Amino acid sequence: MKTVNIGLLGFGTVGAGVVDGLRRNGNLIAARLGVRPVIYRIADLDTTRDRGVPVEKGVLVSDAAGVIDDPNTQVVVELIGGTGAARACILSALKQGKPVVTANKALLAEHGAEIFGAANASGTDIYFGASVGGGIPIIRALREGLAGNRIERILGILNGTCNYILTRMEADGLPFEAALAEAQDKGYAEADPGLDIDGHDTAHKAAILASLAHGMIVPLDAVRVEGIRGLAKLDIRYAADLGYRIKLLAVVKRAGGALDVRVHPALVPLHHVLASVSGVFNAVMVRGDLAGDTLYYGRGAGREPTASTVIGDVVDIVRNLVSASPGRVPVVTTGPAEVVRDFSTRYYLRMTLSDRPRVLAQAADVLGRHGISIASAIQKEGPDDGFVPVVMLTHEADETACAAALREIDAMDVVGAPTVRLRIEG
């Protein structure tokens, strides 16, 4: 049987998963393809550490450029990560007309225009299925299965670490730090946990999904990002009392000719399908004008799920090589997207108000003057310090109007602490 040579760059957790997956399922994959993808070379600076997978002598080398330039390397799989060496490697491979598979979300979110441009210029393939959603083939769904749709909305739970933390805080009453430590132990967290909990990892993924769905590059700095650091257990509990669960959501919506792209914690109704996505699982709900709502669910990180998607991309590229149709599914982008600064949504507001007559009316009056309509309000019994928590759910309102109203409310001397403001989506 003919073979196709893969040059693997980066022999970390996912790299080892790819080597292992190709070994375990090699015969099956070869039978499906009619050719056999083989790991021809692996480049990693560390050529001695045992990764627990067998590698033939001479396959593991330290020089990535040598692997890319080797005329026998037919497909390059970049699993180095980061935006330095990985970028140079990918651009070099694409310039040589060699198809590339990458899982590098940060690189695509920051340099997508350059990388997609290089692939299109040389008429070769760039596949990046594992950059969003780990083992969930969401990228493929957007590039192929939903290609006939205008995408109206994407809602995604895209960070397993955050979803794990939120689930453990809500279901088991765990403090934030302990839940984060558990997620790190399980190998889901980024090396810098700030990337997860401050929402940046999700923002990278949101920018990639938005760019693909709308054929326009979404600059990362246009994505509004808030993470889950500092989220209070009290709000998780009040949200539950009101019939909601708090999730870190990526939101992509069309807003006229512009896009609304944001990442923040949001209250999701308990009956919404995304509310039942718990632990490290990820899910993406995509609404197409023809398909309606579609849902993609699975493991968003980890060695084997991520390797599954990387290998799936290799399989597709090998098909394109065999059928001499490189660039069969190009990433077409028409330039930078216009991203809105303001947007409309519903809000959960937790105010800390002095427990005296007319105070609630004063706060409600400020909201009313900013055009914000209250859908429901509950006053909880507070600690014995003269202040009480008042939780309000609003009807849809503009973000700027809400921010202005809260500035006014928080400046009143009857307010004991800054108001907590969370959005409601779903």
Provide the annotated active-site residues.
205
> Is residue 301 close enough to count as binding ligand HSE by CB under 6 A?
yes
Residue 208 Cβ, how far from ligand HSE at the closest point, in Å?
A: 11
Nearest in space to 278 (alpha carbons), one of 179, 117, 162: 162
Which C-beta is closer to ligand HSE: that of 139 or that of 340? 139
**DSSP assignments along 156-205, one per residue:** EE--HHHHHHHHHHHHH---HHHHHHHHHHTT-S-SSHHHHHTSHHHHHH
Among 196, 260, 313, 316, binds ligand HSE (CB under 6 A): 196
132 is written with which tokens?
A: 């969003």
Which C-beta is closer to ligand HSE: that of 171 or that of 403? 171
Tally the residues of the chain.
426
Residue numbers 342-401 binding ligand HSE by CB under 6 A? none
Nearest in space to 37 (alpha carbons), one of 74, 15, 6, 1: 6
> Is residue 190 close enough to count as binding ligand HSE by CB under 6 A?
yes
Rg of the chain on CA atoms, in Å: 24
Nearest in space to 349 (alpha carbons), one of 250, 246, 420: 420
Which C-beta is closer to ligand HSE: that of 154 or that of 415? 154
Classify residue 64 by burial, with Cβ atoms within 10 Å: 0-12, 13-18, 19+.
buried
What would the x/- binding string for ligand HSE be over residues 105 to 144, using CB under 6 A?
A: -----------------------------x----------
Among 116, 127, 128, 188, binds ligand HSE (CB under 6 A): 188
Per DSSP, 144 falls in state I
Residue 10 Cβ, how far from ligand HSE at the closest point, in Å?
A: 15
> Is residue 198 close enough to count as binding ligand HSE by CB under 6 A?
no
Which C-beta is closer to ligand HSE: that of 224 or that of 299? 299
> Is residue 70 close enough to count as binding ligand HSE by CB under 6 A?
no
Classify residue 296 by burial, with Cβ atoms within 10 Å: 0-12, 13-18, 19+.
buried
What would the x/- binding string for ligand HSE be over residues 147 to 176, using CB under 6 A?
A: ------------xxx---------------
Residues 359, 364: Cα–Cα separation, whole Å: 9
Residue 158 Cβ, how far from ligand HSE at the closest point, in Å?
A: 7
- Which residues here bind ligand HSE, judged by CB under 6 A? 134, 159-161, 188-190, 196, 201, 300-301
